[in-house]
Structure 1
């Protein structure tokens, strides 16, 4: 059973409107005041004002933006960093999904659910073709999302886990109650979850003493959610027909 808290500490209601128009969106990521996304043609885009602008020439299935810049993975699980107007291929580790939201690290997962971490110091001098040295975690996850407040992940059994991290030093994984398809954490530590039916939840009770929170509050939305990201008070959603929504409180 999913423990759902009453809405005592959250502001009442989210107002959602169609975001900058782009059909066929599959995945979206927001961080550091920037928003990036991919579509069903493996094209990557960057939001400039209210317009989606093409991001590089390399087909991407997943992109992420954060303190370490913009990172992505292609259909072959090759890892890229965006720089100089295009995505630059790295060597050393293949990933199915990458997250650039951590303050001092980039994390990613492979198609076989192994978790890998790259310190921002190791990535700072990256040049095209460089071999990057990733460290491996003992936790098996199929999706991961990080901020300076910690990392949230989901395994193949849809179980949710949380860990505090410091330059790729993971301080133990805590099992968090609930079942999810994906969990996303914003720059400020705000956490959202999408379950297997496309229902949407926000994590409640997060504090310095309980960084993984105490429960989930269901946000009533009329559409099933395919992907989500949050930054600077803006909640970005991709709904099942590939339409982008922008929500505020």
Structure 2
């Protein structure tokens, strides 16, 4: 799959994405580029690293002003700067090392993996059970940790806070020290299906109908939710600093700053 499937990104975006890793300055206004590309299923970004997955499970990485194909077929990817973990189609956890995918051990069959916090990862297995693990540079593909009595569909983390979505579509706060819920949850009459957490602990969440909401308040002090970009429906969100990467329900990629 070549570069012809992508169109040229907005000039503002190109000025931000220098080489593979950049530092993005904070901004105050939310402005978005035009929707580009097609058939995207998800995007994950952190520290200027951006990876996308297409509906055919092919992977591309933004580097040196162009999308580069990444080998293999992947159903989910999580990026934490240079640390990249992903799931194969059968749910096996992989780490991207030296330009190739390496199987992590022990082998877990999983639906979801997140590595946004330093040297830690949260795994959701095929039965929605949550596993909190850790890895280090000495053993980059070996995972150690514990399974806890908590059922979530997916988890998202910022620098400090982690949130998950329950099978009922409720957003639940996750205490990463104990890998358990402290009882704080939010629904506001909506079923949530996707979310991410910014470095400032703001939560961005997508409802089952595709509406994008931003939390008013952070941590365990969220008071309400602000509807963003009304008129456009989404299926996936990723936060990188003050920037949002979004996949629309018709599979197009949007960048907002």
TM-score (norm 2): 0.80
> Are the equivalent residues in 1 in contact too, given 2:150–2:180 (CA < 8 A)?
no
Q: Would the aligned equivalents of 2:45 and 2:51 in 1 still touch at CA under 8 Å?
A: yes
User: Does the 8 Å CA contact 1:37/1:62 hold for their aligned counterparts?
Assistant: no
The answer to whether structure 1 residue 176 and structure 2 residue 190 are counterparts is no
Partner of 1:157: 168
Distance 1:87 1:124, change over 3 A: same
Specify the alignment match of 1:3 in structure 2.
none
2:217 matched to which residue of 1? 205
Name stretches of at least 5 consecutive residues in structure 2 with no aligned partner.
Answer: 1-26
The alpha-carbon distance between structure 1 residues 113 and 195, as it changes in their structure 2 partners (threshold 3 A), is same
Q: 1:18, 1:245 within 8 Å by CA — same for their partners in 2? A: yes
1:141-173: CA deviation from partner (whole Å, max 9, x where unpaired):
01111122121100111011012324x655734
TM superposition shift of 1:242: 1.1
Q: Does 1:28 align with 2:43?
A: yes
Aligned length: 228
Structure 1 residue ranges without an equivalent (≥5): 1-10
Higher mean alpha-carbon deviation, 222-231 vs 76-85, is at: 222-231
Whether 1:135 and 2:146 are equivalent positions in the alignment is yes
| Partner Cα separation in structure 1 for residue 179 and residue 193 of structure 2 | 25
> 1:180 touches 1:193 (CA, 8 Å); kept in 2?
yes
**Candidates 176, 201, 208, aligned match of 1:189:** 201
Ranges of 4+ aligned residues in structure 1 off by more than 4 Å: 168-171
Q: In structure 2, how many angstroms separate the alpha carbons of the residues matched to 1:75 and 1:154? A: 22
Aligned with residue 114 of structure 2, among 75, 92, 99: 99
The equivalent of 2:4 in structure 1 is none
CA contact 1:66–1:101 (8 Å) conserved in 2: yes
Of the structure 1 ranges 134-143 and 174-183, higher mean CA displacement relative to structure 2 is found in 174-183
Shift in Å at residue 13 of structure 1? 6.2
Residue equivalent to 2:19: none
Q: Could you tell me whether the CA contact under 8 Å between 2:38 and 2:251 is conserved in 1?
A: yes
8 A Cα contact 1:101 1:146, kept in partner: yes
Map 1:1-249; keep pairs closer than 5 Å. 14-18=30-34, 21-55=36-70, 57-66=71-80, 69-92=83-106, 93-119=108-134, 122-126=135-139, 131-166=142-177, 169-170=179-180, 172-178=182-188, 179-206=191-218, 210-248=219-257
Shift of the 124–12 alpha-carbon distance from structure 1 to 2, 3 Å rule, reads closer
- Measured against aligned partners, the alpha-carbon deviations of 1:171-207 in whole angstroms (never above 9, x if no partner) come to 734222333111211233221010010001001112x
Deviation at 1:212, TM superposition (A): 4.8
User: Cα offset for 1:59?
Assistant: 0.8
For the Cα contact (< 8 Å) 1:164–1:170, is it kept in 2? yes
Higher relative contact order (CA 8 A, sep 6+): 1
Q: Secondary structure of 2:187's partner?
A: strand
Instruction: Name the CA distance, whole Å, in 1 between partners of 2:221 and 2:53.
Output: 29
Q: Is the 1:27–1:38 contact (alpha carbons within 8 Å) kept by the matching residues of 2? A: yes
Q: Counterparts of 1:192 and 1:232 in 2: how far apart (Å)?
A: 12
